[in-house]
């Protein structure tokens, strides 16, 4: 038995099966040159090969967007011209001319600093291989020869390979190459086939016919498992399947307790693509849009127009509300075009709202962009890192200026836009009652709050073990913040990691938290937990935890939770 551990599975699931090692023959061009008289004939061979390959791509393109893109590649004049030039001027044979052209393009793409574009090299190669097979008169075996359930192992899979794959027979996929945005990863997720990609060297270790367990939850591959291991994993596979069905069954339902208390489950997102991929998880809205991506991805402070477009798109993408956090830069996040002075304690330094209140032009520009987007969806503004009422008043004054500027130029915005703040500093927690009278909502940022309350830098491994958001000081603070908000009649959410943590969820539910915002993939699990509790029981649990004096006591309370109320199952929250 051999066990190999990897970190990130591309598509979750647990399966056991026989290995099918796929090694498509690599077609290589003959390096010999042709006689100058034969160029017309050689060019004719290329044109015929291309035409034949194109006919097949047209068929495939009828039902697949990937192959519609392949059609663009097959029709690309740059490829045609380059190949023709190599044949007619350099006297290269058609195969060699094609191979060199493909390699040139792939090399150019490998230098592009965008993962999506780099992955398109796979499409160029796939189309060229298709033409190459026609030139060489080799037929395409693909994965058609698979006639029983197997776990497919390959160095990589092209879209053409994937199109020939029978999902009834392919139980799981392991590839040596590729990242989580590669074709094979996307395909595996859409077909719900468990998969691990980028497992370097896997094709050298396995052979067809060997027994293999693919645990694409934990990211483990076990070769030739023994009987005891097989038992363990068969149970794990069954549990996973049952849990998957259970989560699917509730995907369209509300996050509601057994006694009818509703909360909203939202997504923390870092860019527009994140929103797109969050939607299938059944989110109620965006609880935290980190606006930093606009600043980090551009070459200078982004213009109002650029920001407006991004915020508008964000607001239109999801049906619920979109909470946009104003720029939270500094600390550990810097900008390529702005020189931050080195600081002794960056987390206690010039960052987030402190910086925005000084760079009023940058802040005003962002506020106008957010306001303009509010005409197109349910947009809310959230200030980070607040420590004083003065800061809040100053920020709101700038917001009023922004509103006036827009009014003067006749631009539409939501005049009643809600303005909230993060509670992530001890000062904001202590002043929560005072802040609550002056804002429309709170969102508790537990990552920073925990760090500041416990005086622990969790990036420092020597003290990282002291960092724990279940620490009684953190729990009591969270409770006090929720109570302060409710007393003033405003909703309280949370956008730190704690909101998606399986142990913390029942406590937060019981404390009365209104909105849980988390990494989108955690939403189904959290919903599952919430639907297994009654609000009253959760409140009793929270009450007990609040009164506990030590982390040990709190852990004991949490361990006493009956299994059926936890997300007890074969896998943990990521």
Partner 1 sequence: MLSKKVVITYPSGLHARPLSRFMVLIKSFKSHVTLVTPKGEVDCRSIVNLLTAAIKQGTEVEVQVSGSDEEVALEKIVDFLENLSE
| CA 562 from centre of chain | 32
Comparison of 38 and 109: residue with beta carbon closer to partner 1: 109
The dihedral built from the CA positions of residue 558, 560, 563 and 569, taken in this order, carries a sign that is positive
The DSSP output letter for 258 is T
DSSP 330: B
- Total binding residues for partner 1 by CB under 8 A? 35
Q: In this chain, which of 313, 411, 521, 532 binds partner 1, going by CB under 8 A?
A: 313
Task: Select 112 or 412, whichever has its Cβ closest to partner 1.
Answer: 112
Cβ-based nearer residue to partner 1, 220 or 272: 272
Establish if 299 lies at the interface with partner 1 (CB under 8 A): yes
Q: Which of 19, 73, 369, 370 is the binder for partner 1 (CB under 8 A)?
A: 73
277 sits near partner 1 (criterion: CB under 8 A): no
CB of 374 to partner 1, least distance (A): 18
Q: How far is the CB of 566 from partner 1 (least distance, A)?
A: 38
**Following DSSP, what letter does each residue of 270-308 receive, concatenated?**
SSHHHHHHHGGG--S-EEEEETHHHHHSSSSSPPHHHHH
Which is nearer to partner 1, 240 or 308 (by Cβ)? 308
Tally of CB atoms within 10 A around 209: 10
User: Site for partner 1 (CB under 8 A): which residue of 7, 25, 37, 77?
Assistant: 77
CA distance 422 to 442: 6
What is the spatial distance between Cα 539 and Cα 554, in angstroms, rounded to a whole number? 15
Cβ at position 7, least distance to partner 1 in Å:
26
Single out the segment in contact with partner 1 by CB under 8 A; choices: 114-122, 500-508, 525-533, 542-550.
114-122
Query: Which one among 103, 180, 241, 298 touches partner 1, defined by CB under 8 A?
Result: 298
Give whichever of 128 and 355 is closer to partner 1, judged by the CB atom. Answer: 128
Distance in Å, CB of 130 to partner 1, minimum: 16
Residue of 27, 29, 69, 359 that binds partner 1 (CB under 8 A): 69
Please check whether residue 324 is in contact with residue 291, taking contact to mean a CB–CB distance below 8 angstroms.
yes
Indicate whether 88 belongs to the interface with partner 1 (CB under 8 A).
no
Hey, which residues does 419 pair with through a beta bridge?
381
Q: Contact region for partner 1 (CB under 8 A) — 17-25, 51-59, 103-111, 378-386?
A: 103-111
- Give whichever of 111 and 226 is closer to partner 1, judged by the CB atom: 111
Catalytic residue check, 183? yes
Q: Catalytic one among 183, 261, 281, 471?
A: 183
Residue 440 Cβ, how far from partner 1 at the closest point, in Å? 27
Tell me how far apart the alpha carbons of residues 220 and 2 are, in angstroms, rounded to a whole number: 10
Answer yes or no whether residue 271 interacts with partner 1 by CB under 8 A. Answer: yes
Which residues are within 8 A (CB) of 91 and not within 5 positions of it... i.e. 6 or more apart?
33, 34, 35, 36, 39
**Bridge pairing between strands 211-215 and 14-22:** antiparallel
The stretch among 212-220, 290-298, 407-415, 566-574 that binds partner 1 (CB under 8 A) is 290-298
Q: Is 568 in the site for partner 1 (CB under 8 A)?
A: no
Please spell the DSSP secondary structure of 109-152, one letter per residue. HHTSS-HHHHHTHHHHHHHHHHHHHHHHT----TTTT--S-EEE
d(CA 380, CA 288): 10
In this complex, which beta carbon is closest to partner 1, that of residue 70 or of residue 479?
70
Is residue 519 within 8 Å of residue 277, measured between CB atoms?
no
Give the closest residue to 300 by CA, choosing from 349, 258, 361: 361
Among 108, 397, 430, 463, binds partner 1 (CB under 8 A): 108
Shortest gap between Cβ of 78 and partner 1 (angstroms)?
A: 4
Catalytic one of 128, 266, 365, 495: 495
Out of 35, 62, 63, 113, point to the residue binding partner 1 (CB under 8 A). 113
Sequence-distant (≥ 6) Cβ neighbours of residue 443 within 8 angstroms? 287, 288, 323, 382, 420, 421, 422, 423, 492, 493, 494, 495, 515, 517
Give the list of residues 6+ apart from residue 455 with CB closer than 8 angstroms, or none: none
Looking up tokens 């497992």 gives 199
Task: Tell me if 120 contacts partner 1 by CB under 8 A.
Answer: yes
**Binding residue (CB under 8 A) for partner 1 from 78, 208, 550, 552:** 78
Q: Give how far the C-alpha of residue 573 lies from the chain's centroid of Cα atoms, to the nearest Å.
A: 15
SS3 440: coil
Region near partner 1 per CB under 8 A, out of 69-77, 279-287, 497-505, 539-547: 69-77
- Per the CB < 8 A criterion, the answer to whether 280 and 299 are in contact is no
Residue 495 among the catalytic residues:
yes
**Residue 310 lies near partner 1 (rule: CB under 8 A):** yes
Binders of partner 1 among residues 121 to 150 (CB under 8 A) are 124
Q: Which is nearer to partner 1, 169 or 293 (CB)?
A: 293
Report which of 381, 388, 423 is spatially closest to residue 402, judged by C-alpha positions: 381
The catalytic site residues sit at 183, 495
Query: Which residues contribute to the site for partner 1 (CB under 8 A)?
Result: 65, 68-69, 72-73, 76-79, 105, 108-109, 112-114, 116-117, 120, 124, 271-273, 276, 293-294, 297-300, 303, 305-306, 309-310, 313
């Amino acid at each position: 038995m051999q066990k190999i551990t990897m970190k990130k599975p591309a598509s979750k699931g647990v399966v056991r099966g026989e290995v099918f090692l796929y090694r498509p023959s690599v077609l290589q061009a003959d390096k010999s040159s042709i006689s100058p008289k034969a160029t017309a004939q050689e060019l004719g061979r290329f044109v015929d090969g291309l035409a034949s390959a194109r006919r097949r791509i047209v068929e495939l393109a009828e039902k697949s967007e990937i192959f519609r893109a392949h059609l663009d590649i097959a029709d690309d004049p740059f490829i045609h011209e380059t190949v023709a030039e190599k044949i007619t001027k350099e006297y290269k044979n058609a195969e060699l001319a094609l191979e060199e052209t493909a390699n040139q393009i792939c090399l150019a793409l490998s230098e592009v600093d965008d993962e999506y574009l780099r992955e398109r090299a796979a499409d160029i190669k796939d189309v060229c291989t298709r033409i190459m097979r026609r030139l060489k008169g080799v037929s395409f075996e693909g994965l058609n020869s698979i006639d029983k359930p197997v776990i497919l192992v390959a160095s990589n899979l092209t879209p053409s390979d994937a199109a020939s794959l029978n999902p009834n027979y392919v139980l799981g996929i392991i590839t040596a190459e590729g990242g989580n945005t590669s074709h094979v990863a996307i395909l595996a997720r859409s077909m719900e086939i468990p998969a691990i990609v980028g497992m370097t060297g896997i094709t050298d270790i396995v052979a067809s016919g060997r027994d293999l367990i693919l645990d694409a939850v934990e990211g483990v591959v076990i070769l030739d498992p023994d009987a005891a291991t097989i038992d363990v994993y068969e149970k794990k596979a069954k549990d996973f399947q049952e849990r998957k069905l259970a989560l699917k069954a509730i995907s369209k339902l509300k996050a509601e307790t057994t006694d009818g208390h509703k909360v909203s489950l939202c997504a923390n997102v870092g860019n527009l693509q994140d929103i797109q991929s969050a939607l299938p998880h059944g989110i109620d809205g965006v609880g935290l849009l980190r606006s930093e991506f606009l600043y980090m991805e551009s070459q200078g402070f982004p213009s109002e127009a650029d920001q407006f477009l991004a915020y508008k798109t964000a607001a239109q993408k999801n049906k619920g509300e979109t909470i946009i956090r104003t720029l939270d830069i500094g600390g550990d996040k810097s900008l390529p075009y702005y020189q931050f002075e080195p600081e002794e304690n960056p987390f206690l330094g010039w960052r987030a709202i402190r910086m925005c209140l000084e760079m009023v032009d940058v802040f005003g520009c962002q506020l106008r962009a957010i306001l303009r987007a509010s005409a197109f969806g349910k947009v809310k503004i959230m200030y980070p890192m607040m420590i004083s009422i003065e800061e809040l008043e100053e920020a709101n004054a700038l917001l009023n200026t922004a509103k006036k500027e827009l009014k003067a130029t006749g631009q539409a915005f939501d005049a009643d836009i809600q303005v909230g703040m993060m509670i992530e500093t001890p000062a904001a927690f202590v002043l929560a009652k005072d802040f609550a009278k002056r804002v429309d909502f709170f969102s508790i940022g537990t990552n920073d709050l925990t760090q500041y309350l416990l005086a622990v830098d969790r990036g420092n491994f020597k003290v990282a073990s002291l960092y724990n958001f279940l620490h009684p000081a953190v729990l009591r603070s969270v409770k006090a913040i929720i109570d302060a908000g409710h007393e003033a009649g405003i909703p309280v959410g949370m956008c730190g990691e704690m909101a998606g943590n399986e142990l913390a969820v029942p406590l937060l539910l019981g404390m009365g938290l209104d909105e849980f915002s988390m990494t989108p993939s955690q939403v189904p699990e959290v919903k599952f937990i919430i639907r297994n509790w009654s609000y009253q029981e959760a409140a009793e649990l929270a009450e007990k935890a609040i009164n506990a004096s030590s982390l040990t006591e709190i852990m004991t309370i949490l361990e006493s939770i009956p299994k059926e109320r936890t997300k007890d199952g074969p896998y943990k929250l990521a």
